[in-house]
Amino acid sequence: MLSQMRACLTRFSGCVTWTFNSKAAIRVTPTLFTRHLPRTFCSESVGVKVLYDGLCPVCVTEIQFLQFLQRNRPGKVDFVDISLSGYNAEKYKDVSYEMAMEEMHVIDEKDEVHRGIPAFAVMYSAVGLGWLGSLMMWSPVRPFMDKSYAIFARNRLKWTGRGGECPKGRCEKKTP
């Protein structure tokens, strides 16, 4: 039953995994449920870009967790720290530093910019947590998520002890 479901669901994946067994036989399988296999080659363009504030302790903790989750999918997600002085909005669909500081921004494989909760849904799907992204976007839950995230985004600097560092322009890291 599970193998039939796997076969059915994996038809929708544009990626395939090449595996070699001990007898040098080659098997090509779609990768939707084969995350344990080592190498993935995709015909689709990959590269979700997650713009995050590298000076925000909450943001950094979440990004580190997501990087851990995607360790077997190199190149699938590019985590871009907007707090670095070299951040260039032109490279990221003109998402300015100020815009990215207001709320989460993610650029998907199709070069579309997603903000707020939809950005989280794209980001979570890219690292294998699509169920969580779907839950956040589910119509009974979405209004609660939108309101909760809006409150967090509006207060995150103050709540993470950085309110005084960012009066205008770029935030500066506190020096001891």
Q: What is the 3-state secondary structure (H, E, C) of the chain?
A: CHHHHHHHHHCCCCEEEEEECCCCCEEEEECCCCCCCCCEEECCCCCEEEEECCCCHHHHHHHHHHHHHCCCCCCCEEEEECCCCCCCHHHHCCCCHHHHHHCCEEECCCCCEEECHHHHHHHHHHCCCHHHHHHHHCCCCHHHHHHHHHHHHHHHHHHCCCHHHCCCCCCCCCCC
The larger pLDDT score, comparing residue 32 to residue 77, is at 77
Residue 146 domain flag: yes
On whether residue 144 sits in a domain, the answer given is yes
Same domain, 22 and 54: no
Are 85 and 110 within one domain?
yes
| Residue at 170 is within a domain | no
The model's pLDDT over 130-145, given as tens digits with 9 standing for 90+, comes to 999 999 999 999 999 9
- Same domain for 33 and 62, yes or no, is no
Same domain, 63 and 30: no
Same domain for 53 and 22: no
Please check whether residue 135 lies inside any domain of the structure: yes
Work out the average pLDDT over 150-159.
90
The answer as to whether 125 is a domain residue is yes
In the prediction, which pLDDT does 5 show?
37
Residues 155 and 98 in one domain: yes
Instruction: Report the domain count for the chain.
Output: 2
Residue 21 structural domain: 10-42
Q: Are residues 111 and 32 in the same domain?
A: no
Residue 170: pLDDT band (50, 70, 90) is: low
Asked whether residue 65 falls in the same domain as residue 147, the answer is yes
What tens digit of pLDDT does each residue of 15-70 get? 333 333 333 333 433 433 333 333 333 334 458 999 999 998 899 999 999 999 98
pLDDT at 176 over 80: no
What pLDDT shows up at residue 2? 37
Both 29 and 65 in a single domain? Answer: no
Q: Please report whether residue 14 resides in a domain.
A: yes
Q: Could you tell me if 36 and 58 lie in one domain? A: no
Would residue 21 count as lying in a domain?
yes
| 21 and 90 share one domain | no
Verify that 140 and 103 share a domain, yes or no: yes
Confidence band (pLDDT; 50, 70, 90) for 149? very high
